[in-house]
Structure 1
């Protein structure tokens, strides 16, 4: 059994992918803080419902791809990759709080707060992932060791 077949790990992998993409978008906003007319972007929030929809869409039949007919069946590798990190991640323009005379609306303080939030969430998800792996290792050990 592959570890990505466990729903908890698939959800954590999706969350980590989302947070990684969000950090890239925020870094682009910071890099363009002096570009005239630049409007900052952000990702739509990562929600549990959106992740479940992405998971269910990847397990339904699409154009000649096998469908999972029983809950105990494992997904083929081609479908596992589709439900990976960036599933359901979409950019949207962030609301303007301040716009300078050159048309740039990047506020560095707000971007740094977003980056800090994304980093803390990423660290929490990695910690949860590691603790879940340790739990599996403990469960797989022989009794008395």
Structure 2
């Protein structure tokens, strides 16, 4: 069993993947803040990241843009974005409120930092457990 096979680390990687995809969707919302008729989107948080990693989500997959790139191996995280209009809709039909998107981005950033910290602490505990006694 390798370190990558530990369920805890797999869960953290899944959370980081979800947060990464959410940041991408939020950035897309902000980029379309002035597009008439654009409805803000968000990613639903899966309740089980192991299931999401094993294909329980939607349509996010890695693609190869060149035959010389390494093919992705193993299950890929997949998440779907859903329409999630913000609190206001303008007369042109745009439902993106930049302030609300910035709050979502800050929330995602704090969760990302927490997951990275947890991942680093988990790895340091594994390193400590693997050291010879008395060192």
TM tier relative to shorter chain: 0.7 to 0.9
User: 2-side partners of 1:34 and 1:57: how far apart?
Assistant: 34
Report the equivalent of 1:134.
Answer: 124
Report the equivalent of 2:5.
Answer: 5
Q: Can you give the 5+ residue segments of structure 1 that lack an aligned partner in the other structure?
A: 59-76
The higher-RCO structure (CA 8 Å, 6+ apart) is 1
Please, what is the CA RMSD of the aligned residues? 2.0
- Following superposition, the deviation at residue 96 of structure 1 comes to 4.0
Matched, 1:106 2:104: no
User: 1-side partners of 2:87 and 2:38: how far apart?
Assistant: 13
Matched, 1:143 2:133: yes
**What is the TM-score normalised by the length of structure 2?**
0.81
User: 1-side partners of 2:129 and 2:118: how far apart?
Assistant: 16
**What is the TM-score normalised by the length of structure 1?**
0.75
What is the aligned length?
120
Cα distance, 1:100–1:20 mapped onto 2, change above 3 Å: same
SS at match of 1:101: coil
Q: How does 1:29-44 map to 2 (within 5 A)?
A: 29-44=29-44
Cα distance, 1:115–1:10 mapped onto 2, change above 3 Å: same
Extract structure 1 runs of 4+ deviating beyond 6 A: none
> Which has more radius of gyration?
1
User: 1-side partners of 2:39 and 2:55: how far apart?
Assistant: 32
Structure 1, 89-98 or 105-114: larger mean CA deviation: 89-98
1:77-126 deviation per Cα after TM superposition (whole angstroms, max 9, x unaligned): 95xx21x4x24x11100034211111111001110010000000000000
Contact 1:15 1:46 in 2 (8 A): no
